[in-house]
Amino acid sequence: MKKKSTFFSYNVLHKLTPLMMRGEFLKFLKFKFNINNSIVENDRHKMLARLFYEMIPRKRVVSFHYSKPPFMFRFVEDIKLSRAIQIWLVIGLVMIFLQVVIGGVTRLTGSGLSITRWEIVTGTVPPWSNAAWQDAFDLYKATPQYSRINEGMSMQDFKFIFFWEYFHRLWARLMFFVFIIPFGWFLARGMFSRRLVPRLLVVVLLAGLEGFFGWIMVASGLIQRPWVNAYNLTLHLTMALVIFSYLLWITFIAYNPSPPVFHNRMLKRFSLIMVLVAFFQIALGAMMSGTKAGLFFPTWPDMHGSFLPAVLLDGGQWAISSFTHYDTNSFMPALIQFLHRNTAYLLTIMVLYFTWKIWKMPISHGLRRGVLLLVCTLIMQVFLGIITLVNCVSTIPVILGVLHQAGAVLLLGSILSVTYHLRGNTFSTSVKN
């Protein structure tokens, strides 16, 4: 039987060897020896071999092995992120922005209820045969929207609204693959920074939640109302903006992981308040669309000759039923439009005040360009809002409404850009795998 041999790592032997013997034993590490028989390849080290033999229990072989650690993801520093990741993040932002635009068209053309089933896989393929189109049309005919609004609709008109809802869902599926496949590839190759990975996983979770909210919104218009619930619509759009904002912030990190430190605490907090006000304003815009509030008061700067509509001064209207059955009277449309208008005034004043305060300070060129972009986007959005409102006569203008919704996303992105530049902090980007 072959004798078992034991090999000791340098560190272990270095600790076990007496101080006076270390110099001699370092030379001995070049040779092998058999513990059980104390056979060494060099006789002048026999004494040391016997010493270690006496220290180890009989019939027990002690060995020290180095094994590679299990598979671990590799990361890079924030400042070393590849150009491919930066471009991929921008593509994701553009796709989300276009999805919001497509959703606006879907909403304003009344197309959102044309597909009555939520088929994640099989719904990818549209109807091809005449029989398949007729089946889809028959399902739509069973909805309240068809019986109350679109009764007598032709097949060609149905195909038009079906296209926009189908395109909206198809674009969502495409975004999933554009995001998840490169994400796995970049992660496996160790191209992400440790700072980005958990944030991108949050984006994936939010996207799944957004799809779920989208179906809840559609389902709310298939039972009683001939259109989707305004609150569900607001939740759906707000969640889309949360995903857009979060991914935009990640993109800022990828392009500029360490913005210059800005020491004015007041303006830092003020920028965060502007973000919250912008979110609230966009949510009110979604409620404007859901309640069709623009059709009730299509005048500016007054609301049919008054600053505060008389219906809001009626105490009897401030009841729970007015909020739940908002489509039965003019109370909710008046309230939503009043809040939407005045929040727009407030946000405009805040942005102009912020610009006035920060412009006098010694700020970076990037921040100064961001402030200019913010002011220009605000002016454009205010103009689009007014033009859209005064043209809401009997129907909401689709093109103006979509442009106004797209402008809201750009305005929010401009505020977030300025906020990111103001949040500059000094931090370490060292990587520990």
Q: Which of 192, 194, 84 is nearest to 430 (CA)?
A: 194
The domains of the chain are located at 1-67, 73-252, 258-433
pLDDT value of position 10? 45
User: Which pLDDT score is estimated for 26?
Assistant: 44
Q: Identify the DSSP state of 34.
A: E
Nearest to 172 by CA among 80, 251, 225, 102: 102
| Closest C-alpha among 241, 226, 349, 331 to residue 286 | 241
Query: Rounded distance, CA 111 to CA 218, Å?
Result: 10
Distance CA 114, CA 274 (A): 37
384: which DSSP letter?
H
What is the pLDDT at residue 365?
85
pTM as predicted: 0.78
pLDDT of residue 46: 54
pLDDT score recorded for residue 425? 55
Q: Give CA torsion, residues 82, 86, 91, 97, to 10 deg.
A: 170
Q: Which two tokens stand for residue 315?
A: 């105490």
pLDDT per residue of the chain (433 residues) written in tens, 0 to 9? 444 444 444 444 444 444 444 444 444 444 444 444 444 444 445 555 555 555 545 444 444 444 444 556 677 776 778 899 999 999 999 999 999 999 999 999 988 888 888 877 767 788 888 998 999 899 989 888 888 888 888 999 999 999 999 999 999 999 999 999 999 999 888 888 888 889 999 999 999 899 888 888 888 888 877 888 889 999 999 999 999 999 999 999 998 888 877 778 899 999 999 999 999 999 999 999 988 999 999 999 999 889 999 999 988 889 998 898 888 888 999 999 999 999 999 999 999 999 999 998 888 888 899 999 999 999 999 999 999 999 998 888 999 999 999 999 999 999 999 999 888 654 333 334 3
How far, in Å, CA of 264 to CA of 262, rounded? 6
**At how many degrees (to 10) do helices 155-188 and 83-108 cross?**
160
Alpha-carbon distances of 224 from 145, 232, 254, rounded to whole Å = 9, 14, 47
SS3 assignment, position 158:
helix
Provide the pLDDT for residue 40: 41
Q: What does the alpha-carbon distance between residue 287 and residue 293 come to, in Å, rounded to a whole number?
A: 8
What is the enclosing helix (H) or strand (E) of 188? Answer: helix 155-188
- Asked if 267 contacts 363 with a C-beta cutoff of 8 angstroms, the reply is no
